[in-house]
Every structure is written in C-alpha cells, then in structure tokens.
C-alpha cells in the first residue's frame, strides 16, 4: 500500500509557483484533491498539484531558456536532436511544440520546445510509449 503525500497550501504554492487562489479554485472544482486538517490548515495532493504546473515552469524546460524564441525548422530539429521527423511533426500537430510559422517550404518551431521534448524523449522514449500529457508536461504513469 502506498500513501499519498499532501502538502500545506502555502508550501505547494511556493514549490510549484502556483498562486494560492488558483490552487483553492482547483480544489473547489475537484481538479485536484485536498483536505482540511484538524487545525484548519488546507492541504493539497502533491501529485495533483504538480501535474497542474505549466511546462514553462518546469526545471526541465527552464534549463533550455537560452533557446527561447530561437527558431528551427522541423527537418533540422529531427537531425540535430536525433528524433524521428514524424514524432516531431506529431508533437507540433497536438500543440506540445509551438509552431512559429511556415514559409511554404519549411515549418519553423520554437527550439526551446524541441530541446525540452528531446530531453524527455531520450530519457523515457520507446516506440509506442506516451511521453507527454496534453498540456506538454511529462507523462507519469500511475504505476510509477
């Protein structure tokens, strides 16, 4: 049996850079689980709260900040980051990688997104494995 971890609202807010009012709204809407301790303190489920952190706030994404706003076209990204072109195309199609523009010949994307996705892909990627949630954050299977 594994016990779930709950954090006090202020600690969860500081840890994942989510405002306390936003966390309260997520609790009230049922999007994250939480509770109230006997002393009146509100706690939130750590895993649920972490899942609500936008990808731009993740350390894995921030480590590529030097590439922010830099453009790269799909084929070059596939070649430079050693990821199949079709995989990158699918990530662009579902919105995990930001499409900047196309010139009628090439599709240009945000290189920071590519570098972030490449890190996740090379750590956990295998054919047929889900790597990302719809919001672009890394997928964590319920089985660990």
Which CATH number fits the domain that encloses residue 35?
Answer: 1.10.10
Query: Domain range holding 25?
Result: 6-53
Residue 130 lies in a domain: no
Residue 137 lies in a domain: no
Q: Give pTM, 2 decimals.
A: 0.68
Q: Both 74 and 90 in a single domain?
A: yes
Predicted confidence at residue 92, as pLDDT, reads 92
Q: Both 110 and 79 in a single domain?
A: yes
Which CATH number fits the domain that encloses residue 102?
Answer: 1.10.1660
CA 7, 11, 16, 20 torsion: positive or negative? positive
For residue 5 the two structure tokens come to 């971890």
Residue pLDDT, tens place only, 4-27: 888 898 888 887 777 788 788 888
Q: What's the domain count of the chain?
A: 2
**20-29 helix and 9-16 helix, angle to the nearest 10 degrees:** 110
User: Helix or strand or coil: residue 45?
Assistant: strand
CA distance 90 to 37: 44
**Rounded to an integer, what is the distance from CA 99 to the centroid of its chain?**
17
Residue pLDDT, tens place only, 65-116: 999 889 999 999 999 999 999 999 999 998 889 889 998 899 999 999 999 9
């Amino acid at each position: 049996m594994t016990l779930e971890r709950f954090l006090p609202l202020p600690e969860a807010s500081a840890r994942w850079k989510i405002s306390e009012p936003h966390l309260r709204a997520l609790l009230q809407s049922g999007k994250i689980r939480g509770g109230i301790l006997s002393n009146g303190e509100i706690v939130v489920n750590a895993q649920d709260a972490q899942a609500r952190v936008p990808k731009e706030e993740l350390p894995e994404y921030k480590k590529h900040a030097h590439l922010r706003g830099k453009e790269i076209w799909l084929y070059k990204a596939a070649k430079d980051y050693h990821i199949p072109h079709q995989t990158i195309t699918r990530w662009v199609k579902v919105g995990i990688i930001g499409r900047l523009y196309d010139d009628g010949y090439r599709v240009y994307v945000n290189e920071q997104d590519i570098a972030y996705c490449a890190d996740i892909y090379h750590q956990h990627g295998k054919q047929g494995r889900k790597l990302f949630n719809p919001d672009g954050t890394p997928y964590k299977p319920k089985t660990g």
